[in-house]
Structure 1
Amino acid sequence: MIKTVAIGLWVCIIALGSLMLAIKIGSQPKAVAATEDTAPTIDYDRTDVMSVPILADGKVNGYIIAQLVYTVDSKVKNKLTVPLGLFVNDEVFNAFFGSYSDTKQIERIKFEDVKQKIIDGVNQRFPEPVIKDLMVEQFNYIPADQVRDMNKVK
């Protein structure tokens, strides 16, 4: 009978020891998970199709029609409480509205300069940089005369 009680106690001690070891090993942070968290994840999004009027001498000379694609760090984007697209649309509009009073200047737009201006403008509004790159999906200039002619009923 003493042998049976001793074997029972031995089994209980082994079971309790293995349970404690499993809890201790399971609570330690894993080194693999730490390296996964530091790897940057890039995501992309599109702006709305925007039409920005080009004004000169108090009248509309034409419209820039643009749609851009921007890449963002998804971890930083997930921390934001406001939609990022609103800020990008605002910076795109500000980059073109009032900047080109002579429609001939539109033909000589260097997108690299405009692109950097938009990226810097958006990133300045946040504590850490969000926008990584900006690419053109659509970019057109339509003179106001063509828009007026499209609206005429024939």
Structure 2
Amino acid sequence: MIKFVVIGVWVCAVTLASSYGAAYWAAGANLGKAEDPYLPGLEYKRVPTITVPMIMDGQVKGYVIAKLVFTADAGTLKKLSVDPVVFVVNDAFSEIYNNGRVESGKISKYNLKDMTDRVKEKVNARLNGPVIQEILIDGINYVDKNDIRTVANQQQQSSKGQDKGDAKPSH
């Protein structure tokens, strides 16, 4: 009987000692390890496609379609309480709308570097610091309003033609 009591006490002591040792080791592993500085580098964020109407003589003549990407420090982006994409879209739209030029149905040449620099400066001013490193142009295009209507009409006519061809005659 005494052997069973001694074995029980021994099992309890070993269990307690191993639990204490595991907890001490786990706690010591986190304390002894110095935190490495977070160096994630630059992060590329794609901005949704921006469609800017070009108004001349009080009428919409066409649309500038722009695809943008911006770079920012990933650590800084994680610390922000608001997504900078919204500000990039707003300021890019304003810049293209106010300073974009369309002449004789074509987008005229203007300095894209100056445009992206102005957008970057405005966004960084709103975010109270140098968040945006660079704004890149993935694509910029001008589409005339008449071209849009022509394509839409062609699509409608082709869909009507397919509907008639798909109909089966009843016997």
Sequence identity percentage: 26
Q: Which letter maps to 2:82?
A: V
1:115 equivalent in alignment to 2:83: no
Is the partner of 1:98 in helix, strand or coil? Answer: helix
User: What is the 5 A alignment of 1:27-46?
Assistant: 30=34, 33=36, 36-37=37-38, 39=39, 41-46=41-46
Residue 47 in structure 1 maps to residue 47 in structure 2:
yes
Query: Is residue 142 of structure 2 the alignment partner of residue 135 of structure 1?
Result: no
Q: Which has the higher contact order (CA 8 A, sep 6+)?
A: 1
Where does the alignment leave 5 or more consecutive residues of structure 2 unmatched?
1-23, 158-171
SS in 1 for 2:128: coil
Query: How much does 1:151 deviate?
Result: 2.2
Q: Which letter maps to 1:148?
A: R
Q: Is the 8 A contact 1:54 1:98 kept in 2?
A: no
**1:7 matched residue in structure 2:** none
Partners in 2 of 1:90 and 1:147 — Cα distance?
24
Gaps of 5+ in 1: 1-18
Post-superposition shift, 1:61? 1.2
Match of 2:99 in 1: 99
Deviation at 1:103, TM superposition (A): 2.8
Three-state SS of the structure 1 residue aligned to 2:60 is: strand
Residue aligning to 2:61: 61
Residue 122 of structure 1 aligns with an amino acid whose one-letter code is V
Deviation per residue, 1:26-65 (Å, 9 max, x gap): 85784x83xx34x572111111011110111110111111
Structure-2 separation of matches of 1:128 and 1:100: 27
Larger Rg: 2
For 2:123 and 2:116, the matched residues in 1 are separated by 11
TM-score (norm 1): 0.72
Give the distance between the partners of 1:102 and 1:142, measured in 2 at CA: 10
Task: Return the alpha-carbon distance in structure 2 between the equivalents of residues 98 and 123 of structure 1.
Answer: 20
Which amino acid in structure 2 is aligned with residue 54 of structure 1? M
CA gap 1:101/1:43 in 2 versus in 1, 3 angstroms:
closer
* Shift of residue 91, structure 1, vs aligned partner: 0.8
Residue in structure 1 matched with residue 149 of structure 2 by the alignment: 148
What is the distance in 2 between the residues matched to 1:113 and 1:88? 15
CA distances 1:52-87 after superposition (whole Å, capped 9, x unpaired): 101111101111111111100111111111121111
Q: Distance in 2 between matches of 1:100 and 1:135?
A: 17
SS in 1 for 2:119: helix
Equivalent-residue separation in structure 1 for 2:102 and 2:142 (angstroms):
13
Structure-2-length-normalised TM-score: 0.65
Change (3 A) 1:112 1:57: same
Aligned-residue Cα RMSD (Å) equals 2.6
Q: CA deviation at 1:137?
A: 1.0
